[in-house]
Amino acid sequence: MKKVIAFTVTATLCLSTNSFAGYKPKLVISKKPSDYDFAGEEMKFRLYWTVFHVADSKSKVVRVDKDRLRLWGKVSTAGVASWFKKISDEGYSIWNEKTLCPEKTYLFQYEGDYKRERVYTYDLKKRVVKYEKINPEKKKVQVRYIKIPFIPFEDIATAVYFFRRYGIFEVGKETVFPLFAGGKFQNVSFKVVDKRKIDTLFGKIEAFKVIPSNNLSPEGAFRRKGKVVFWFSADKRHLPLKVVAEVAIGSVSAVLVDAKGKGFDLRKEYEKKRKKSLLEQFITGDFGGE
């Protein structure tokens, strides 16, 4: 007899329109979206809690076909944090550039002894989300079905990419779109509050300061508890150069330490500019100061 491992499944059907009482979908996006192609983009971040290096993060975008991208990301403990509790949060989403919606999202949380897996399947034809919460150790699966009230919409994994392409990058302007997070749909906003050059590992880069609404927050150990601030490069790539978020105790900052994609490599570009600058100083006699 074939051995079968059966998962315990608890299903809750949430298709009543009462689930959206008071919710009014809102969409305010740019009429001239960026033509930057995310495919092939790779980024690495270093995360700090106050002044301590506590984690590393990386992301990668791969084109699945002409309409779909696979957006992958991972956060794992590093530095002093690795002495106390090993954390590895990983996930990816299949994003359809034609419908502007996610199709499926996988989230894997491994934080010490805590292990959870979440799978979100978005059926745009039936207008329903299948949400599976999996406990791999107890072999239990909880399933919920949630009605999709509006298209397009984003989730936690795709929201920043959507904003980078369709956001209104003008000081004082606000971008708004529906977000599926925490098992429900709500509107999320990104407001551009400033534009100036900031110091980065790649020299000074002109960037937009952006503050998102409070409902944009990842799940897991680095879940925010207060305000978060993004700095996006002021070009068509809108690269996230720095993020600062208030957490339960203090704040966590994520600093971009490497980024490359089609036609660019920030680290190599910076090294090339730095060498050129040193050469110009030597030729003009400014090298070494007075």
Span 145-173, mean pLDDT?
Answer: 96
Residue in the block written with tokens 């500019």? 273
**Rounded distance between C-alpha atoms, residue 81 and residue 213, angstroms:** 28
Q: What is the largest CA-CA distance in the chain?
A: 86
Q: Is residue 198 part of a domain?
A: yes
> Which residues have a Cβ under 8 Å from the Cβ of 119 and sit 6 or more positions away?
104, 105, 106, 107, 130, 131, 132, 134
Span 95-103, mean pLDDT?
Answer: 98
Q: Is residue 3 part of a domain?
A: no
| 3 pLDDT tier (thresholds 50, 70, 90) | very low
Q: Is residue 283 part of a domain?
A: no
Please list the residues that pair with 28 across neighbouring strands.
176
Q: Is residue 4 part of a domain?
A: no
**Backbone torsions φ then ψ of 4, nearest 5 degrees:** -120, 130
* Predicted structure pTM score: 0.83
Boundaries of domain holding 163: 9-15+24-274
Q: Is residue 290 part of a domain?
A: no
**Rounded distance between C-alpha atoms, residue 135 and residue 69, angstroms:** 28
Q: Is residue 127 part of a domain?
A: yes
Q: Is residue 39 part of a domain?
A: yes
Residue-wise pLDDT tens digits, 188-240: 999 999 999 999 999 999 999 999 997 665 544 444 455 889 999 999 999 99
Chain centre distance of CA 180? 14
Domain count, the chain: 1
| 16 pLDDT tier (thresholds 50, 70, 90) | very low
Question: What percent of the chain shows pLDDT beyond 70?
Answer: 80
**In the predicted model, is pLDDT for residue 36 greater than 70?**
yes
| 88 in Cβ contact with 106 (< 8 Å) | no
| 37 pLDDT tier (thresholds 50, 70, 90) | very high
**Rounded distance between C-alpha atoms, residue 245 and residue 243, angstroms:** 7
Q: Is residue 279 part of a domain?
A: no
Residue-wise pLDDT tens digits, 236-288: 999 999 999 876 667 889 999 999 999 999 999 888 887 766 555 555 555 45
Phi-psi region of 142 (alpha: psi -120 to 50; beta: other; left: phi over 0): beta
Structure tokens at 220: 């897991």
> Which residues have a Cβ under 8 Å from the Cβ of 198 and sit 6 or more positions away?
204, 205, 207, 231, 241, 242
